[in-house]
Structure 1
Amino acid sequence: MHNVLILGLAALAAAAPAKRQVPHYPPTSLSNGFFLVANVTDPSLDLSPSINGWVFQTAHTGPPTNAAVLQAPGSSVPGRVFYENGTAEQVHYGQSTVITDGATPPTPFGIFIQSPTEFDITYPTEHDLFVNAGPGTPSRITDFPNPYPILQNNQGVGTFVACNNTVPYYGYKFITINYAYATFEGPDGGYEYHANIPEGCAPINLVPQCTTLNTLPPDAYASHEFAAPVRCYDDVAAIDWTQYGP
C-alpha cells in the first residue's frame, strides 16, 4: 500500500503543468496626442553619441516639405506632436495615417515614407521619410496583439533607421529618420530574413510618449475629429526595457 501511494504521488507530480512565465510589460496610457521617441533595437549599431531617447522632429526644406529628423532630448523646442488619424474601421484595417499639425493656420502634415521601389536621391540605398502637407503614408501605432506600441509602416515589413546624413537643403548633417524594408529570400530560393540596415545607420523603434493634443483655432484646416486614442508611455526614457518581456 505504501508503495502504491508513492507511485500515485509521483504520477500526480509528473502530470502537474510546468510553472507558466507571466508576461510583464511596461504600463501604458491612452492618449490622442503623442511624441515619437527613438529606441535603438540593436545597441551594437547605435550611433555616437547614442540616439536612444531622441525625439522625432522636422527640418524645414521648403513649403510645404520637411525632412524627418531626430532631436536630442532636453531641447527648448519639443518634438512634434502627432496623432493617428482615422475612423475605427480605418484603424482596424491599417488605413489610418499618423499626422502632425503645421503652418498657419494649422494644416495636417502626414508622415510620408518612400515605398520599397523609391530611394533617396543623395543616399540611393535608403528610403526617405518626409513630413509634408497631406494625409501621409498608411501607418499606425501598433495595438493588440503587439505588446509594445510603436509606429508601424503599413507599406511593408521592415524597420525605421536613424542615419547621420547631410540634408542637401542645409548642406550639413542631421540624424535623419529613414526606413529599411526587409527581404525574405535565401540561397536557391529559400526563405531567409534580411533586415537590410544601411551601413552606418541604427535600427530604431519610434515609441509613442503621451502628450496633450492641442485645441485647434476656428480657422484651422486640420481637424482632430478622428484623432484615435492610442496606447503610449508616460516617459519612454525612464523605461528599463531589460526588465520587461514574456
Structure 2
Amino acid sequence: MLLLLLLLPLLLHLTTATQITTALAFTLIANVTTPSLDLTPSINHLNLTAVHVGAGLDAAVLTPTGPARVLYLNGTAPQDTGIASDGGLFPYGLRLGSLAAGAQSVGLDVGGVQPGVAISEEGWPQVVGPEEGGFVVCFEVRPVYGRPQYPVRFVRAGGDLPSGCVPVALLAQCAVLGEVPRGAVYDHEGVREVRCLGDVRAVEW
C-alpha cells in the first residue's frame, strides 16, 4: 500500500478543548489516520515515549500505560531548529535513523537535534520530517525491547506501508517545560514557542 495513505488529511473537527494555541513544550499523541488499519488493541491516542536500546540511543515508541515524553522545539534559526527533550544532564534530539525495510527508525538520542524534524507551521500541529513522507507505528517483538513495543518509523513519500504498521499523525499536545537539571550541559535559551493542542483526545473524528 503506497504512502498515499499516510498523507491523507486528518478528518477531525475542532472543539473548544482542542483549539490550537502555543506553548514552550509539548507531548506527542498518536492519531491513527486510517482507522480501518488500526492495530488490536488500538494504538489511537497513545503517548510517545522512548526506550533505551543502546549507549545514548533511545527508540521512539508508543506506550499504552506510561507517561508521554516532554519535548520542545530548540534552535536559534530555522536551519538549526529541531525537536529536543531533556534527559538528565544531557540533551536528547528526535532524529531519523537508518533506512531498513523501506522505513527509517525514529529515535530520541543523546546529542543535538535534527534540523527539519519539527512541528508543522500550518494545519494541525504535528511532527513533520526533513523531507516529504509520513510516520507509521509498527507492532514488534524484539529482544532489544524485552517485551512487545510499538516503535515509530518514518516512510518517505512514495514508499510502501511496511507490514504490521499503521499510518499515524503525531499530534502536539501542549505541556509545561521543566527546569534544566543542575549540572546539565545544555540550557533552554534556544527554546521556541510551538503550536499545540490543549487536548488531543478531545478531537472528534
Q: TM-score range by the shorter chain?
A: 0.7 to 0.9
Return the alpha-carbon distance in structure 1 between the equivalents of residues 119 and 103 of structure 2: 23
Are 1:29 and 2:21 an aligned pair? yes
Are 1:142 and 2:120 an aligned pair? yes
Larger RCO, structures 1/2 (Cα 8 Å, 6+ apart):
2
2:4 alignment counterpart: none
Residue 137 of structure 1 aligns to which amino acid in structure 2? Q
Residue 84 of structure 2 aligns to which amino acid in structure 1? I
Indicate if the aligned counterparts of 2:70 and 2:175 stay in contact, CA closer than 8 A: yes
2:35 alignment counterpart: 43
The residue correspondences of 1:32-111 to structure 2 (distance < 5 A) are 32-72=24-64, 75=65, 77-87=66-76, 89-90=77-78, 93=79, 95-103=80-88, 105=89, 107-111=90-94
Normalization by structure 2: what TM-score? 0.85
Are 1:113 and 2:116 an aligned pair? no
Return the alpha-carbon distance in structure 1 between the equivalents of residues 194 and 53 of structure 2: 30
2:138 alignment counterpart: 163
Shift in Å, 1:69:
0.5
Return the alpha-carbon distance in structure 2 between the equivalents of residues 218 and 169 of structure 1: 31
Shift in Å, 1:62:
2.7
Q: SS of the residue aligned with 1:237?
A: helix
Shift in Å, 1:169:
1.5
Residue 110 of structure 1 aligns to which amino acid in structure 2? G
Shift in Å, 1:206:
0.6
Shift in Å, 1:217:
3.0
Q: 2:163 aligns with which of 184, 195, 199?
A: 199
Structure with the largest fraction of strand: 2
Number of residue equivalences: 189
1:130 alignment counterpart: 107
Indicate if the aligned counterparts of 2:51 and 2:145 stay in contact, CA closer than 8 A: no
Structure 1 portions without partners, runs of 5+: 1-23, 184-194
Q: SS of the residue aligned with 2:201?
A: helix
Q: SS of the residue aligned with 1:215?
A: coil
Return the alpha-carbon distance in structure 2 between the equivalents of residues 56 and 238 of structure 1: 17
Return the alpha-carbon distance in structure 1 between the equivalents of residues 20 and 162 of structure 2: 32
Return the alpha-carbon distance in structure 2 between the equivalents of residues 217 and 46 of structure 1: 38
Q: Deviations over 1:145-195 (max 9, x none)?
A: x221111111x2111000001344134320110111112xxxxxxxxxxx5
Return the alpha-carbon distance in structure 2 between the equivalents of residues 68 and 208 of structure 1: 15
Structure 2 portions without partners, runs of 5+: 1-12
Structure with the largest fraction of helix: 1
Residue 125 of structure 1 aligns to which amino acid in structure 2? G
Return the alpha-carbon distance in structure 2 between the equivalents of residues 78 and 222 of structure 1: 23
Indicate if the aligned counterparts of 2:73 and 2:82 stay in contact, CA closer than 8 A: yes
Return the alpha-carbon distance in structure 2 between the equivalents of residues 200 and 226 of structure 1: 38
